[in-house]
């Protein structure tokens, strides 16, 4: 069944449905090219989405499109996007959040597009489209910097540049670079030593078209491919990092990342959080310390200034290191002694003892640039000066609360809690997204399976500043009525201080009982690491006894490996928190049940949530109904959406939070379920209800 819902606040459908819209229709319609030539199932929802994407591209207008699981949204935007790119000779940017979706697009979906184009005579000219993957500059090995480092390692004494283990690692990287495919750090195993990679990666002015040959340098080759590509694949984090760094086309030139480009952002439900992070400040004690020690490390007597500076230049760095240590230690002792996150309410909360020493280092580097006649050394010095000036400016702005529309806070992190970080974020990210996405004179298409609360997209539109954009929704084509059963616990106790956490005993009991009822795998979604660990302690023995493998987030394995082993096990139980509510794609019986331990309300005590609540109250609004519930609904829909990933999938959704039945807002969560038919159960009647 197809349900196409247009937002009543949109500006109306783009006018002038022309060549692209007609061609896309011939591809996606029933008995069209996709169905007849590639024998792919016709999906009315996919055809509706492709038509909307084509109209948006032709009109260079923004579009928000929610496409339920199974619609096949990747092809619905890739095919129109590639055709439009080839026809208009404009770059097509495809941004996603997860590596798994990037891999799916590269290894599967783009190959389907190419097969379609080459097989159909009318589409053959689109079959030669070019693609490129964009990763951060720092991920690439630069051949020029690598050769320079090798030469210096041969001529310099051990104390001046590389220690023995670093020299060995440098030689290993040189051998790897001779056969590497793309020359990115992810291809290098084991990972390189940080000091060595700092010396040879492409994130330097040395790595430029002037100094590096694109036939040899991995980054310059990738850049050349990027500039000639029709499809450029990037992740959200890098996209917003580049936008925030001022990488958008200058002047009146349209485009979001490249001149005259157009963009599709998949997994767009993640955009508000990612944009909030990147449009704020992030300066850590570790980053400042490392940046200074790359210039000169007084403990090892090594660094750039050992070779190119004087004793007074080295003293300036030593002084800055001491000031940085004192500055961050004071912040940690004063504000973070009792809790790892502390919001700041007033500017000038501490003496800015670090600004002067950082300024002195930047000035010393500037003087050395003027004195040097070695262009390569000048480039290296400029990079370091730019970095130090950036940290100084960010710290000055943070202490003075220069960004009045931001919330500021401090965090303590690292394995031993030794890293102190200054953080800020905009209270309202909508103006930033409106400016950088929706007012760039080009099409920006945001899509996901969960942009709405299940009925309306108004909350998401307001959050991203896209009130003027067209907003559409199509349902999933999956048969949830037949393949999905929903059970809601009516007797789940709520956490009460001093009650011995009876709620955790209840969760443990119910999770064990429900997991044993299904032959396949069970994914249990928590909202806190504390609850996850406590329930794990209570259930580990039971699962060992019945020989069901238990996988828990944060325990021994990385997320991707946990997910892989859970899928292979076939009957495992996986406990996960935040990141497991989205992006987990395990078809078949290996995931036969999703248990929601708690409704996914965000922590109201986090500085960003707290400040945004105050901001909403100041406007006369209700933070819970305007912010907390809409955000929880999107995450809830993501979580329950882990169950049915293919047409043949089936299983249970179990909700162990009775607030969904007893609180007024619970009705919104029930409406957000894939079907409205559900069974209530409790500890007394569960045997008969689940029978």
Query: What number of other Cβ atoms are within 10 A of residue 400's Cβ?
Result: 11
Residue 13 has pLDDT above 60, yes or no: no
- Calpha distance 30→175 (Å, rounded): 54
Crossing angle of helices 355-371 and 375-400, in 10° steps, is 160
Contact between residue 674 and residue 640 where contact means Cβ atoms under 8 Å apart = yes
- Radius of gyration from C-alpha coordinates of the chain: 27
Q: Can you give the pLDDT at residue 536?
A: 95
What is the pLDDT at residue 347? 95
At 497 the pLDDT is 59
Please write the tens of the pLDDT for every residue from 148-164.
888 877 765 544 556 77
Give the H/E segment covering residue 77: helix 73-88
Sheet holding 131-133, edge to edge: 5-6, 470-474, 63-67, 444-448, 262-265, 92-96, 231-235, 131-133
- When pLDDT is averaged across residues 652-673 and rounded to a whole number, the result is 95
The closest alpha carbon to 253, from 94, 483, 442, 532, belongs to 442
Measured CA angle at 100 (ends 99, 101), to 5 deg: 90
Together in a domain, 644 and 569:
yes
Are 115 and 254 members of one domain?
A: yes
What is the rounded CA–CA span in Å between residue 320 and residue 314?
10
Pairing of strands 419-426, 406-413: antiparallel
One domain, residues 450 and 588: no
Q: Tell me: pLDDT of 2 over 60.
A: no
Q: Do 501 and 637 fall into the same domain? A: yes
- Beta-bridged to residue 342, according to DSSP, are 410
Comparing C-alpha atoms, which of 407, 450, 455, 396 is closest to residue 429? Answer: 407
Domain holding 441, by residue range, is: 5-130+229-275+429-474
Q: Say what the pLDDT of residue 148 is.
A: 86
Residue 520 is classified by DSSP as S
Total residues found in the chain within this entry: 691
Q: Are residues 636 and 545 in the same domain?
A: yes
Which carries the bigger pLDDT value, residue 15 or residue 344? 344
Q: What band does 33 get if pLDDT is binned at 50, 70 and 90?
A: very high
pTM of the entire predicted model: 0.88
Identify the residue whose tokens are 């580049």.
242
Task: Collect contacts of 367-370 with beta carbons under 8 A, ≥24 apart.
Answer: 368/305, 368/308, 368/309, 368/313
Asked if residue 185 and residue 46 are part of one domain, the reply reads: no
If one counts every other C-beta atom within 10 angstroms of the C-beta of residue 500, the result is 8
Crossing angle of helices 271-278 and 236-244, rounded to 10°: 40
Q: Which of 116-120, 221-225, 631-635 has the lowest mean pLDDT?
A: 221-225
Chain CA centroid to CA 275, Å: 9
On whether both 256 and 321 belong to a single domain, the answer is: no
Report strand pairing: 522-525 vs 573-576: parallel
Residue 255's alpha-carbon distances to 125, 250, 304, 441, in angstroms, are 25, 9, 38, 7
Same domain, 38 and 110: yes
Residue 276 has pLDDT above 70, yes or no: yes
Q: Is residue 498 pLDDT above 70, yes or no?
A: no
pLDDT of residue 17: 52
* CB atoms closer than 10 angstroms to residue 395: 20
Q: Where residue 234 sits, what CATH number does that domain have? A: 3.40.50.300
pLDDT at position 559 is 83
Residue 569 pLDDT > 80: yes
- Cα 203 to Cα 208, 333, 366, distances in angstroms: 10, 34, 19
Distance CA 287, CA 118 (A): 50
Kindly state whether residues 490 and 601 are assigned to the same domain. Answer: yes
Q: Which segments within 429-557 are labelled E, that is strand?
A: 444-448, 470-474, 484-489, 522-525, 550-552
In this prediction, residue 279 has a pLDDT band, given cuts at 50, 70 and 90, of very high
- Contact partners, residue 485, CB within 8 Å, separation at least 6: 651, 652, 653, 679
**What does the mean pLDDT of the chain come to?**
90
- Top pLDDT among 508 and 11 is at 508
- Residues contacting 588, CB < 8 A, separation 6+: 520, 646, 648, 649
Question: Where are the extended beta strands (E) located within 430-537?
Answer: 444-448, 470-474, 484-489, 522-525
> Phi-psi bin for 260: left (phi > 0), alpha (psi -120 to 50), beta?
left
Neighbours of 619 (CB within 10 A): 7
State whether 177 and 247 are in the same domain. no
Residues 6+ apart with CB under 8 A from 217: 142, 143, 144, 202, 207
- Reported as type and span, the H/E element at residue 212 is none
Taking only the tens place, the pLDDT of each residue in 231-245 is 999 999 999 999 998
Compute the distance between CA of residue 253 and CA of residue 23 in angstroms, rounded to an integer. 28
Which residue did the predictor score with more confidence, 505 or 307?
A: 505
pLDDT at 12: 37
14: confidence class by pLDDT, cuts 50, 70, 90: very low
Angle CA(631)–CA(636)–CA(641) in degrees, nearest 5?
Answer: 130
Instruction: Looking at the structure, tell me whether residues 533 and 522 fall in a common domain.
Output: yes
Q: Are 630 and 534 in a shared domain?
A: yes
Strand partners, 140: 184
* Secondary structure element (H or E) that encloses residue 90, with its range: none
Angle (CA) 668-673-675 rounded to 5° is 125
pLDDT at 496: 67
How many domains would you assign to the chain?
Answer: 4
Q: Lowest-confidence range among 145-149, 232-236, 351-355, 523-527?
A: 145-149
């Amino acid at each position: 069944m197809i349900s196409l819902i247009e937002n009543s606040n949109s500006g109306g459908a783009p006018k002038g449905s022309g060549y692209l819209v007609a061609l896309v229709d011939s591809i996606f319609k029933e008995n069209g090219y996709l169905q007849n030539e590639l024998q792919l199932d016709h999906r009315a929802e996919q055809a509706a989405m492709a038509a909307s994407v084509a109209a948006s591209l032709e009109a260079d207008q923004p579009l928000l499109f929610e496409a339920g699981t199974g619609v096949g949204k990747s092809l619905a935007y890739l095919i129109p996007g590639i055709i439009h790119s080839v026809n208009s000779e404009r770059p097509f940017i495809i941004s996603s959040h997860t590596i798994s979706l990037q891999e799916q697009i590269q290894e599967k979906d783009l190959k389907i597009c190419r097969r379609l184009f080459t097989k159909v005579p009318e589409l053959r000219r689109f079959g030669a489209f070019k693609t490129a993957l964009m990763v951060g500059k720092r991920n690439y090995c630069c051949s020029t910097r690598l050769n320079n480092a090798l030469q210096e390692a041969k001529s310099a004494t051990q104390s001046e540049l590389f220690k023995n283990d670093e020299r060995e690692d440098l030689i290993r990287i040189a051998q790897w670079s001779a056969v590497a495919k793309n020359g990115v750090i992810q291809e290098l195993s084991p990972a390189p030593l940080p000091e060595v990679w700092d010396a040879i990666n492409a994130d330097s002015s040395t790595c430029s078209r002037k100094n590096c040959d694109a036939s040899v340098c991995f980054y310059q080759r990738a850049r050349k491919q990027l500039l000639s590509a029709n499809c450029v694949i990037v992740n959200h984090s890098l996209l917003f990092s580049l936008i925030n760094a001022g990488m958008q086309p200058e002047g009146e030139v349209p485009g979001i990342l490249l001149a005259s480009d157009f963009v599709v952002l998949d997994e767009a439900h993640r955009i508000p959080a990612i944009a909030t992070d990147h449009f704020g400040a992030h300066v850590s004690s570790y980053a400042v310390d490392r940046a200074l020690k790359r210039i000169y490390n007084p403990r090892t007597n090594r660094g750039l200034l050992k070779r190119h500076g004087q004793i007074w230049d080295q003293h300036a760095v030593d002084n800055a290191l001491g000031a940085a240590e004192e500055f961050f230690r004071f912040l940690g002792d004063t504000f973070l002694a009792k809790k790892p996150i502390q919001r700041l309410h007033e500017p000038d909360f501490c003496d800015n003892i670090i600004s002067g020493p950082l300024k002195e280092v930047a000035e010393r580097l500037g003087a050395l640039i003027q004195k040097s006649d070695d262009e390569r050394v000048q480039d290296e010095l400029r990079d370091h000066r730019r970095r130090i000036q950036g940290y100084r400016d960010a710290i000055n702005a943070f202490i003075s609360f220069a960004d009045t529309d931001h919330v500021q806070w401090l965090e303590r992190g690292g394995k031993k809690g030794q890293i102190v970080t200054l953080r800020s974020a905009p209270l309202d990210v909508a103006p930033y997204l409106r400016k950088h996405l929706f007012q760039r004179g080009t099409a920006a298409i945001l899509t996901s399976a969960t942009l709405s609360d299940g009925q309306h997209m108004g909350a998401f539109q307001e959050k991203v500043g896209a009130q003027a954009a067209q907003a559409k929704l199509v349902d999933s084509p999956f048969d949830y009525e037949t393949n999905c059963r929903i059970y809601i616990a009516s007797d789940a106790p709520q956490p009460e201080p001093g009650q011995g956490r009876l709620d955790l005993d209840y969760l443990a009991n119910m999770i064990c009982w429900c997991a044993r009822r299904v032959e396949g795998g069970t994914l249990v979604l928590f909202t806190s690491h504390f609850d996850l660990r406590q329930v794990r302690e209570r259930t580990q023995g039971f699962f060992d006894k019945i020989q069901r493998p238990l996988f828990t987030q944060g325990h021994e394995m990385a997320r991707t490996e946990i997910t892989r082993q859970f899928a292979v096990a076939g009957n495992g139980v996986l406990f996960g928190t935040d990141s497991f509510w989205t992006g987990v794609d395990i078809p078949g019986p290996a995931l036969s049940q999703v248990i929601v331990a708690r409704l996914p309300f965000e922590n109201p005590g986090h500085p960003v949530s707290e400040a945004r609540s105050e901001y909403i109250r100041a406007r006369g609004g209700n933070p819970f109904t305007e912010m907390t519930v809409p955000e929880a609904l999107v995450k809830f829909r993501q979580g329950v959406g882990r169950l049915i990933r293919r047409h043949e999938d089936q299983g249970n959704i179990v909700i162990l939070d009775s607030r969904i039945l007893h609180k007024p807002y619970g009705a919104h969560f029930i409406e957000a379920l894939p079907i409205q038919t559900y069974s209530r159960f409790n500890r007394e009647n569960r045997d008969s209800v689940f029978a």
